[in-house]
Amino acid sequence: MKITKKNIKKIIFPSIIVIFIFIAIFLSVSKKQYNELNEIYNSNIEQIIGKIKEIYPDLDEKDIIEILQNKDYKKEGQKLFEKYGYTEDMQYIESLNQKIQVNIIINVVIIIVFGICIIYVCLKYVSNQNEQIEEINLYLKKVNDGNYKLKIEENSEDELSKLRNELYKTTILLREAAENSKKESENLSKALEDISHQLKTPITSIRIMIDNIFENPDMNEEIREDFLKTISKQVDWISSLVISLLKLAKLDSGTIIMNDDTISAEELINDAIENLSIILDIKNIKIEKDIPNNSDFIADYKWQLEAITNIIKNSIEHSNENSKIDIKVENSSVMLKIIIKDYGEGISKKDINHIFQRFYKTKNASSDSIGIGLALAKTIIEKDNGYISVTSKEGKGTTFTIKYMK
């Protein structure tokens, strides 16, 4: 154990308390013994004085006190005791001698009992510490074997309890890491399966058309040109899928660092609309904006432009021709909110809970849809301290609400 001020306090304070308790007990016993011996001594002196008064009733009390206090009479008294066999190494008062012996025994017993108690407490403490250490060792062995469902939380403040709590926290982190690893493995497996499924159809189509071109050198020029256009279209689709997947992979791996840019909501929305100007013109869809002045927020401009573009594109794809899309911005001290509302075909109750899932396509999705745009948008927004939600009614339209926390 590392010697620190805190550890020194934990050692010194209990030791001082034990010492004071021992001193208090010893002083209390000693005082009691002194009072008992003093009582015996005074009782015997009183008997001597009483006997003297009985034999010499005319003796003045002052003379008796003077005799007791005068050391000059010690030698005469000593000679008298020696005459009757009481030497210096003998106790002159038998009862006093007995009491002293009893007191010595009591003191020895108290010291032995107190020592046994201290030894017992120390042994109990060491035994308890060893039990906890053994329990922690067993716990670590189970954790190393992959058992992360153990629980050894402690509410006390000693070092081993703190160690147990830290081990429990570490176990939770390991359990979460193991669960996340398993989940990521499952997600990766599913993603690979989805990607394989997504690529299988266009690659098969491309292969069939290329084989037809090679096998039919005299193929009609118009048919050949249609085949080549279709192949080009499928290649563009595959390229778009790969680019989207690479972006998602970077976001998932955490290798992308979001920059803290001061973004004008109006500029961001205008640039997103500009990116989609061609398909807006094709479907003759009008964008109506309601953006207050000074609608700024902090986020990564490049990535948020990608997200907003994908959401508006989704609204365009599911809107009818000659319709409109409303984009409204609400700004407060807590958040900035972007609301994108279309008046198209809407999303069914069955599909609405899945539209942010990767490769999920609603029943109204176009054949060219990859099914990854909204999933990518959601991931980007959430990576930049934002939230996205959706509400929809079939035949009435869909509303996306994006919130950026300040």
Distance CA 170, CA 164 (A): 10
In this predicted model, what pLDDT tens digit does every residue of 281-292 receive, in sequence order?
Answer: 999 999 999 999
Task: Give the percent of the chain with pLDDT over 90.
Answer: 23
Q: Higher confidence at residue 370 or residue 140? A: 140
User: In 216-298, which ranges are continuous DSSP H helix?
Assistant: 221-253, 265-275, 277-283
Does residue 366 register a pLDDT over 70?
no
Task: Set out the domains of the chain in order of their start, with CATH numbers.
Answer: 5-144 (no CATH), 161-253 (1.10.287.130), 261-405 (3.30.565.10)
Q: What is the 3-state secondary structure (H, E, C) of 196-211?
A: HHHHHHHHHHHHHHHH
Tell me the average pLDDT across 309-324: 92
Tell me the average pLDDT across 110-132: 73
Region label for 337, one of left (φ > 0), alpha (ψ between -120 and 50) or beta (otherwise): beta
In this predicted model, what pLDDT tens digit does every residue of 101-115 receive, in sequence order?
Answer: 777 677 777 777 777
Q: Higher confidence at residue 189 or residue 226? A: 226
Residue 12, pLDDT score: 56
Distance CA 361, CA 41 (A): 109
CB 342 within 8 A of CB 319: yes
Residue 352, pLDDT score: 87
Does residue 143 register a pLDDT over 90?
no
Nearest to 167 by CA among 154, 184, 176, 186: 154
In this predicted model, what pLDDT tens digit does every residue of 17-47 receive, in sequence order?
Answer: 766 777 777 777 777 767 777 777 677 777 7
Task: Give the percent of the chain with pLDDT over 70.
Answer: 69
Distance CA 230, CA 207 (A): 11
CB 318 within 8 A of CB 283: no
Residues 6 or more apart whose CB falls under 8 angstroms from that of 351 comprise 360, 362, 363
Q: Tell me if residue 90 falls in helix, strand or coil.
A: coil
Detail the DSSP E strand segments found in 291-396: 296-299, 324-331, 335-342, 386-393
Residue 90, pLDDT score: 45
Residue 76, pLDDT score: 63
Residue 98, pLDDT score: 67
Tell me the average pLDDT across 76-90: 57
Tell me if the pTM is above 0.75: no
Distance CA 337, CA 146 (A): 45
State the angle between helix axes of 159-215 and 221-253 in degrees (0 to 180), rounded to the nearest 10.
Answer: 170
Residue 289, pLDDT score: 95
Place of tokens 């396509």: 361
Rg (CA), the chain: 49
What are 350's two structure tokens?
A: 């069955």
- Beta-carbon neighbour count of residue 388 at 10 Å? 20
Amino acid in position 204: T
Which long-range contacts does 130-137 make (Cβ < 8 Å, 24+ apart)?
A: 132/160, 132/164, 133/160, 136/160, 136/163, 136/164, 136/167
In this predicted model, what pLDDT tens digit does every residue of 235-245 receive, in sequence order?
Answer: 887 887 788 77
Eight-class DSSP state of 147:
-
Question: Which backbone phi and psi does 304 adopt, to 5 degrees?
Answer: -70, -30
CB 290 within 8 A of CB 249: no
In this predicted model, what pLDDT tens digit does every residue of 261-270 receive, in sequence order?
Answer: 999 999 999 9
Mean pLDDT is lowest, of 87-91, 151-155, 317-321, 357-361, for 87-91
Eight-class DSSP state of 71:
G
What are 4's two structure tokens?
A: 């620190």
Mean pLDDT of the chain: 77
CB 359 within 8 A of CB 376: no
What are the Cα distances from residue 56, in Å, to 49, 52, 73? 10, 6, 18
Q: How confident is the model at residue 86 (pLDDT cuts 50, 70, 90)?
A: low
Q: How confident is the model at residue 62 (pLDDT cuts 50, 70, 90)?
A: confident
Q: How confident is the model at residue 95 (pLDDT cuts 50, 70, 90)?
A: low
